[in-house]
Amino acid sequence: MTRQPLQLLRQTFGYDDFRGSQREIIEEVISGRDALVLMPTGGGKSLCYQLPALVRAGVGIVISPLIALMQDQVAALAQLGVRAGYLNSTLERDAARRVEQALRAGQLDLLYVAPERLTQERTLTLLEHVTIALFAIDEAHCVSQWGHDFRADYLQLNLLQERFPHVPRIALTATADARTRAEIVERLALGNASHYISGFDRPNIQYRITHKRNSRQQLLQLLRHEHGRDAGIVYCRTRKSVGNVATWLQGQGFCALPYHAGLPAEVRQQHQQRFLREDGVIVVATIAFGLGIDKPDVRFVAHLDLPQSVESYYQETGRAGRDGQPATAWMAYGLQDVANMRQLLMGSSGFPEHVRVKLQKLDALLGLCEITTCRRHALLRYFGEHSPDHCGNCDTCLAPVETWDGTIAVQKALSCVYRTGQRFGVNHLIDVLRGKETEKVQQHGHQRIKTYGVGAELDDTQWRSVFRQLVARGYLQVDVAGYGALQVTARSRPLLRGEESISLRRDLPEKAAPRPRRERRERQLAAGDQALFEALRQCRLSIAQEQDVPAYVIFHDATLMDMASSRPLDAAQLLGINGVGRRKLERYGAAFLDVIREFDAAPAVAGPERSGQ
C-alpha cells in the first residue's frame, strides 16, 4: 500500500487509520481491479470508492439510487474540500449544464449520478469524453429481482463493462445473501471481481421483537422511557397507517413527520430535509423512505408492521446507530401481520418461483420473530456468518424467554381448525376452544363438535400466542383467499397423532426495556464534559444553519465527544481528534477552539466535578 492513500485518509477525512478490510479494498480499486464489497451500514463503505477516486486520475462516477440524498452527500464532501457534484432530475437545466461543464474541464473528483440518468445515451456519450477513475455502484443489491429494493434501472448497469471495459468498478451493499451476491455478480458482469465480505454484525444495535398487543401504546412506552428526544424512524406497512401514526405521535408531543410515495414530492423532500438537519425528528414511513440514508445519529428504528424478509428487516434496522453508538431496533408483530404479508406476497405479480422465494423469506423472518435463542446469532446465521451463541445485546439474551410444553394445547388448536372445516380465523377458533356461546358458534353448530370448550384453561391472549407460533413455525397456514382462515399443513400431522411434542415461548407482559450492553457514550461523559459537549453541538448547529447543511456534515457527535473529553487547546491538538481533517480544521477549528477555551475559563461550569476533586 502506498503512503498516499493513508495521507489522504488523515489529511482529508481526519481518520488515523483504515478499518477492517478498507485498506485491501482501496488498494484493489486503485490498482484498477473490480471489487464486490459487502460491509454493514456505518462500516465505512463510502471511503472504499471516495479515496480511490482521489488517488486515481480522473473523476469517480457514483451510481446511487436515491436522488434526494445526493445533495447532502455532495455537501458533506465539500466540507472536506473534495470537488463533487451530482446529476439527477432535480437539477434545473442551467445547473445541470454547469455540472457537465465542470466534468468536461476536469474540475470534479466525484460525480453522483442516478441510474436512470446514467443509462441515457447523452450521459454515456458525455462520460466517453472524460477520464474516469472508477465506477462505484452503491446499494448494489438493488439489481436483484429476488431482493427487497429492486430497481429496474440497475439491470442496465452491465453496460458499464461493455462501454468502459478498462475502468474499474466497485459494487457495494450492506445487505446480500448468497443468492443476491450471485445475482449481483451475474447482472453487473463482475465475474473477475474480488469479493470482500466484512461481516454483517452491528453490535451497537439492540434487537428487540415483541408480540403486538396495542402497538401504539407499546411504541409510546419505548419512546418515552428510552428515546424521548432522539431521532428515529417508525415503519408502517400502509400509507394510511403512516399518516395516522404520525398524527397520533404529534398529539403525544413528538416531532413526527409522515413519508410515503403518495405525498407530493416537495412534501417528501421537506420532511426528509428536516429529518436530516434537525435534532429529535421522527419520520413515520413506508419502505419508500430510507435507502441511502446516511444520518449517523438515528437512535432507533421501530417496526409497527412486519417487513417482507430478513433482508428488509436488516436493511431497515441498519439505519440506526451508524455512528457506532448504542441504538435500538424494535418491532411489534402479530398474527394479523402474517396474514397481511402473505396476502400481499401471494397477490403480487411475478413468476411462481419468485413468489415462492418471497414466501420462504417471510418464513425465515417469522422464525427470527419467534426464536427463543439469541436473535443476533440467528440473524447473522441467515447471512452465512458464524457468531457466538449469546450476544448479550438482544432481548432474548438480556431477558431469556420462558418456554412451556404446549403439546396438548397445540393438539387442541389443530384439531379445532380441522373440525371447523379450516374456514375460520383465529377469533372464532378461540371462541370455540373456550366454549363461548357466540352467534357465530351457534350459527355453524360448532357447540356440538368435540373441541368445543376444551381450551378453557387458556385465556384469549394465550390462545392467540399459540396460533401465532403455529403459523410462524409452519404448522398452520393462512388462507389469503379466505379472509384469514387457518388451515392445517402436512407438518402438523405428527403432532396431531401424538408422535411429536412441542415447546412454545411463553408471552409475558412487556416489562421495562432491558438495559443495553453499553450505556450511551454521552451519558458516560463527566458532568462538565457533557455540558461542553452540548455547547459544541450548539456551535455546530449554528454553523450548519448558516450553510444550510445537516449538522453531521460539519462534525459527527463522536468527534464532538472526543473534543469534550480531551479538550484540545490549539490547532495541532484539534487535528489529532478523530474526524478532524485539515480542511475542516481551517474552516471550523477557530470556532470550536473558542468554545472550549471559553468553557474552560468558566470554573463554575466545569471544575472540581470534572477532575473528581
Please provide the DSSP assignment of 80-113 as one string: TT--EEEESTTS-HHHHHHHHHHHHTT--SEEEE
Mean pLDDT across 336-341: 81
Query: Regarding predicted confidence, which is higher, 170 or 609?
Result: 170
What pLDDT band is residue 521 in, cutting at 50, 70 and 90?
A: very low
394 and 411 belong to one structural domain: no
The total domain count for the chain is: 4
576 and 433 belong to one structural domain: no
347 and 447 belong to one structural domain: no
Phi, psi of 486 (to 5 degrees): -95, 145
115 and 26 belong to one structural domain: yes
Rounded Cα gap, residues 67 and 73, in angstroms: 10
Residue type, 545: Q
Closest to 123 (Cα-Cα) out of 131, 609, 115, 367: 115
Please provide the DSSP assignment of 506-524 as one string: --PPP-SPPPPSS--HHHH
Rounded Cα gap, residues 416 and 430, in angstroms: 9
526 and 486 belong to one structural domain: no
412 and 490 belong to one structural domain: yes
Mean pLDDT across 97-118: 94
SS3 content of the chain, % helix, strand, coil (to 5): 50, 15, 40
Please give the C-alpha separations between residue 148 and each of 140, 291, 358, 439, in angstroms, as whole numbers. Answer: 12, 11, 9, 43
Sheet holding 110-113, edge to edge: 84-87, 110-113, 59-63, 132-137, 169-173, 35-38, 194-197
Q: Which of 454, 479, 505 is the last residue of a domain?
A: 505
Structural domain includes residue 41: yes
Mean pLDDT across 5-14: 89
282 and 394 belong to one structural domain: yes
Give the model confidence (pLDDT) of 482-491 as tens digits: 567 899 999 9
Phi, psi of 375 (to 5 degrees): -70, -40
pLDDT at position 612, please? Answer: 36
263 and 317 belong to one structural domain: yes
Rounded Cα gap, residues 7 and 15, in angstroms: 10
Q: Which is it for the CA torsion 493, 498, 501, 502, positive or negative? A: positive
* CATH number of the domain where residue 483 is located: 1.10.10.10
pLDDT at position 479, please? Answer: 77
Structural domain includes residue 367: yes
86 and 137 belong to one structural domain: yes
Give the model confidence (pLDDT) of 558-586 as tens digits: 899 999 999 999 999 999 998 999 999 99
DSSP bridge partners of 279: none
126 and 228 belong to one structural domain: no
How much is the mean pLDDT over the chain? 87
Q: At what angle do helices 557-566 and 527-547 cross, to 10 degrees?
A: 140
pLDDT at position 481, please? Answer: 63
Q: Which residue is associated with the grid cell 373440525? A: 419
Give the model confidence (pLDDT) of 125-180 as tens digits: 999 999 999 999 998 888 876 555 677 888 889 899 999 999 999 999 887 777 88
pLDDT at position 44, please? Answer: 85
Angle at 305 between CA 478 and CA 297, to 5 degrees: 155
**DSSP β-ladder status, 205-211 and 327-333:** parallel
Structural domain includes residue 312: yes
Q: Which is it for the CA torsion 34, 40, 41, 47, positive or negative? A: negative
Rounded Cα gap, residues 294 and 68, in angstroms: 12
95 and 178 belong to one structural domain: yes
Closest to 563 (Cα-Cα) out of 547, 579, 552, 546: 579
340 and 423 belong to one structural domain: no
pLDDT at position 613, please? Answer: 32
Neighbours of 488 (CB within 10 A): 19
* CATH number of the domain where residue 576 is located: 1.10.150.80
Structural domain includes residue 511: no
Domain that holds residue 420: 403-505
